[in-house]
């Protein structure tokens, strides 16, 4: 369907095929050296797709230059087929299945989500980047599911299943409490750096959001709680505060 509607061209199809092959191989290979090589290739391709560096994709504009709040920056949202495909491939092929079935995940996830929303948006308000602004519109109804599926799932799949798991040594069976803590902190810092284009304050707030998501993943062993923490911040931000930020901030 994407090909028929002109969203994909041959380079994009080749990249997507490579993405699914690499993710499949990385999930099943036994050799440590080969696993590292596959991880590097998979991480590099995933990053290139997420940053829209691979040719052959046409990502249509969903929202173009909307302003939901007085004094807010204009906001544009694309339907990013390339970034969304990364989330799909990693979620299907690398997400841990059933390893945490005995853990209680609802209460820890809710607590971490509430704390993350409070510290991230409270700090953004204190810094003067946003202000309270409760709102609803058709544009927001379009924005939220796209943000969940094509942003939150994709980014959490990359930073939890590729970065955090690798730093924690989970894939090689060498995970320990110390490595888990290090993985939480480093993956959060890298998540913040990935948003540095928005400025140092935006990168700091993204890092704090990443910290909440990383904690949820470490505590539950599931990707879903990390996605929910990330989406909770984005959804409350969009529905109850200036989005994306006040102009000039």
Q: What does the block give as tokens for 246?
A: 């006040």
**Does 247 fall in a domain?**
no
Q: Model confidence over 106-147: pLDDT tens digits?
A: 999 999 999 999 999 999 999 999 999 999 999 999 999 999
Work out the average pLDDT over 200-219: 97
Other CB atoms closer than 10 Å to residue 80's CB: what's the count?
Answer: 21
Q: What does the block give as tokens for 191?
A: 């998540």
**Does 27 fall in a domain?**
yes
Task: Say if residue 244 is preceded by a cis peptide, omega within 30 of 0.
Answer: yes
**Does 248 fall in a domain?**
no
The phi, psi pair for 103, rounded to 5°, reads -90, 150
**Does 2 fall in a domain?**
no
pTM as predicted? 0.93
**pLDDT for position 100:** 47
**Does 4 fall in a domain?**
no
**Does 249 fall in a domain?**
no
**Does 213 fall in a domain?**
yes
The phi, psi pair for 170, rounded to 5°, reads -65, -40
SS3 letters for 1-17? CCCCCCCECHHHHHHHH
Number of domains in the chain: 1
Separation of alpha carbons 79 and 132, rounded Å = 27
Residue 178 structural domain? 10-240
**Does 246 fall in a domain?**
no
**pLDDT for position 27:** 87
Separation of alpha carbons 99 and 218, rounded Å = 12
Q: What does the block give as tokens for 95?
A: 């997400």
> Can you spell out the DSSP letters for 160-194?
IIIIIHHHHTTTTT---HHHHHHHHHHHHHHHHHT
Q: Model confidence over 32-82: pLDDT tens digits?
A: 899 999 999 999 999 999 999 999 999 999 999 999 998 999 999 999 999
């Amino acid at each position: 369907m994407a090909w028929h509607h002109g969203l994909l061209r041959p380079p994009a199809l080749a990249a997507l095929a490579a993405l699914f092959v690499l993710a499949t191989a990385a999930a099943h290979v036994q050799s440590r050296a080969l696993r590292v090589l596959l991880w590097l290739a998979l991480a590099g391709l995933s990053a290139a797709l997420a940053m829209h560096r691979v040719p052959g994709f046409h990502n249509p504009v969903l929202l173009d230059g909307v302003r939901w709040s007085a004094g807010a920056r204009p906001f544009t949202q694309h339907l990013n087929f390339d970034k969304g495909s990364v989330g799909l491939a990693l979620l299907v092929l690398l997400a841990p299945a059933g390893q945490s079935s005995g853990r209680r995940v609802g209460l820890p996830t809710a607590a971490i989500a509430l704390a993350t929303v409070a510290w991230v948006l409270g700090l953004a308000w204190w810094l003067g980047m946003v202000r309270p602004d409760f709102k609803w519109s058709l544009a927001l109804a379009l924005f939220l599911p796209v943000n969940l599926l094509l942003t939150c799932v994709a980014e959490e799949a990359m930073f939890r299943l590729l970065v955090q798991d690798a730093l924690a040594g989970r894939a090689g069976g060498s995970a320990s409490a110390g490595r888990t803590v290090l993985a939480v902190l480093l993956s959060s810092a890298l998540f913040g750096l990935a948003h540095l284009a928005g400025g140092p304050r935006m990168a700091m707030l993204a890092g704090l959001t990443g910290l909440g998501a990383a904690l949820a993943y470490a505590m539950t062993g599931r990707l879903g709680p990390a996605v929910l923490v990330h989406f909770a911040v984005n959804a409350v931000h969009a529905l109850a505060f200036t989005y994306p930020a006040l102009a000039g901030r």
